[in-house]
Homo-oligomer: A and B are copies of this chain.
């Protein structure tokens, strides 16, 4: 059953919820999901609503326009509209570590996610055999300080050719530069191997070991121009003890990283994330 998904936010005012649900119900849309939330600090209303299009009186191609004219202007809404048959297209960026890549490709192969993965991009050749094993084109873009801007420009062209809608950095060990972030705002998902904001930057497991923490974590977030400081999507942790070496942390952390990254990717694919300022609203 084909559905529309509408995500919006706007300054909170009485009646918005009733008006939007009424708009759908009156036009014979069957609402199958609704979640809303008001941020009382910022006074912002957030909403995610999904309805079946079968008997909906407004033609699919006109919904955006109607909603924009009738409600978005009135309430100063920022909104996005998706249809259930629009399949997101994901590009995977990897370097040398395979655990996140395998986890994502296993889900993809098993049909767990409604997504296409037209290509894998890497700055190292190491994981090409994995890509081949799953039959996904692998593009090597070695990065040096000198060629970085140019290589990213070529990557962006390739992404555009393949109609990529979002990027997943599956332990890609290169800082993404501004031009790419601007091309994919809140659409580049990274996994950082620490419990952010602790241990920003390089070698977080070494830093965690040094500090003697009793718990380590992993954090998936959207990439912004400030390193490891973008909106957090998902975090999880695992207990460690004084007996764990740095190598043990790396090993335990891998399981965290792949699960936390995959949870974030799944929520992105399911259109359950709204970003406001530097935070995420995650609908159930």
Contact = CB atoms under 8 A, between A and B. Distances in A.
A249 interface: no
A133 B129 CA distance: 11
A25 interface: yes
Contacts of A241: 282, 284
B278 A212 contact: yes
Contact of A195 (B21, B103, B198): B198
B242 A281 contact: yes
Copies of this chain assembled into the complex: 4
Contacts of A145: none
Interface residues of A, number: 66
Interface stretch (A62-70, A152-160, A181-189, A213-221): A213-221
Contact of A15 (B25, B107, B215): B25
Nearest to A134: B133
B213 A196 contact: yes
Nearest to A243: B284
A262 B36 CA distance: 27
A232 interface: yes
A245 interface: yes
A66 B38 CA distance: 27
A214 B134 CA distance: 33
22 contacts: A14-B25, A17-B31, A18-B21, A18-B22, A32-B38, A37-B242, A41-B245, A99-B106, A102-B109, A109-B130, A195-B215, A197-B199, A211-B278, A212-B279, A213-B232, A214-B235, A215-B217, A215-B235, A237-B237, A241-B282, A242-B280, A255-B259
Given A98-B110, A214-B233, 8 more contacts: A21-B21, A32-B38, A196-B198, A211-B232, A211-B278, A212-B278, A212-B279, A242-B280
